[in-house]
Amino acid sequence: MNREILSTIIVLGLTATVTAAPQALALEQQTEAAPAPAAATPPQPVPAPAVAVTTVPPTPSAAAAVPDASFRAMKDQVVVLGLESGQGLREITGRLIAFEDQTVTLVVVPTNEVVTFFKKSILSLRAVDLAPAKEPIEATENAGAVRERHFAINLGIPPEIAVDLDYGYFYGFGDVSIVFPAATDGNWLPMSIGAGVNFRPVADSAWKMEIFAHYSPTRWSSDHWCHAFGVGLGVHYTTVGGLTFGFKVPIFGYSVSPSESHYDSGSAVAMYYLAGAVGLPVASIGYRF
């Protein structure tokens, strides 16, 4: 019995050995044939995604805050430049005398220094008037100085009423005595009329010189008339406000009397000057319109 059990165990053991041997051999062959595991590689950094870069061209305001057309328009004018500075906008006043591609040149007020600035530092350009208050004053003065006044009414010496017309180069006048007729019971009646030219001795002067021919009929009595003819000189001054005064004198002439046939040459000349002295407004003052 024991032998049979032992024999059975030996047979089973041999069978298991024979069966396991091929399997072990096949496993060993598979192990040898399998490649060795690769060595672990360190992790590679992942590249950042590409970012598109867009170049923005400078705008005209960034390239030049003030265009060349503005500098060209203000050439030789007084301007105020607004300059970029670390403390904000800084203003410089001066006359713009030149500008180029990159620079602007001023004559700085009031030092008269010639200074050049880069255009890229100029943020603003402004026109300026250094003396705006003078314009209305000058306009008023010029208006009074250039106003032409023509017609005048005067009181003359010897006492008489006189009028005159000053228009361009033409000058004319007329007068009549108001005192001599009253003082002589109507016997003396001097008067004069005349015409000629007048001109300014100096340009823009308020004085005007007169050269005129005159006729001065004078009545010395009811039956004695003297007719004087001659040439005279005069001058008159007119203020801006219209006040005018002047002087006239007879220079040379002759006289005749239809009622007095005994005038000789000397008497005729003497009576001319006498008629001129009482008939002409030797001195006058009045208002010119």
Quick: pLDDT tens for 69-94.
Answer: 888 888 898 988 888 877 777 888 88
The answer to whether residues 117 and 169 touch, using CB atoms and an 8 Å cutoff, is no
In this prediction, residue 241 carries a pLDDT of: 93
DSSP class of residue 119 equals G
Q: The pTM is what?
A: 0.50
Q: Please, what is the Cα angle at 211 between 242 and 249, to 5 degrees?
A: 85
250 burial type by CB count under 10 A (0-12 exposed, 13-18 middle, 19+ buried): buried
- The pLDDT tens digits of the residues spanning 12-66 come to 555 555 455 455 455 455 555 445 555 555 555 555 444 343 333 444 444 567 8
Show me where the domains of the chain are located: 62-127, 149-288
Q: Which two tokens stand for residue 81?
A: 């430049």
| Closest by Cα among 128, 36, 27 to 78 | 128
Residues 6+ apart with CB under 8 A from 199: 169, 208, 209
The CATH number of 62-127, from 2.30.30.100, 3.40.50.970, 2.60.120.460, 3.30.750.210, is 2.30.30.100
Q: What percent of the chain has pLDDT over 90?
A: 41
For the chain, the average pLDDT equals 80
d(CA 81, CA 136): 27
The closest alpha carbon to 157, from 179, 184, 130, 173, belongs to 179
d(Cα 270, Cα 260) in Å, to the nearest integer? 14
Identify the top-confidence range among 51-55, 109-113, 270-274.
Answer: 270-274
DSSP string computed for 220-282: EETTEEEEEEEEEEEEEEE-TTSEEEEEEEEEEEEEE-TT-TT--HHHHHHHHHHHHHHHS-S
Summarize pLDDT for 205-261 with one digit per residue, the tens.
999 999 999 999 999 988 889 999 999 999 999 999 999 999 999 999 999 988 766
- pLDDT tens digits for 216-227? 999 998 888 999
Give CA–CA dist 235/207, Å, rounded: 7
Task: Provide the 8-state DSSP code for 35.
Answer: P
Count other Cβ atoms within 10 Å, centred on residue 107: 15
Residue 152 · residue 208 · CB < 8 Å: no
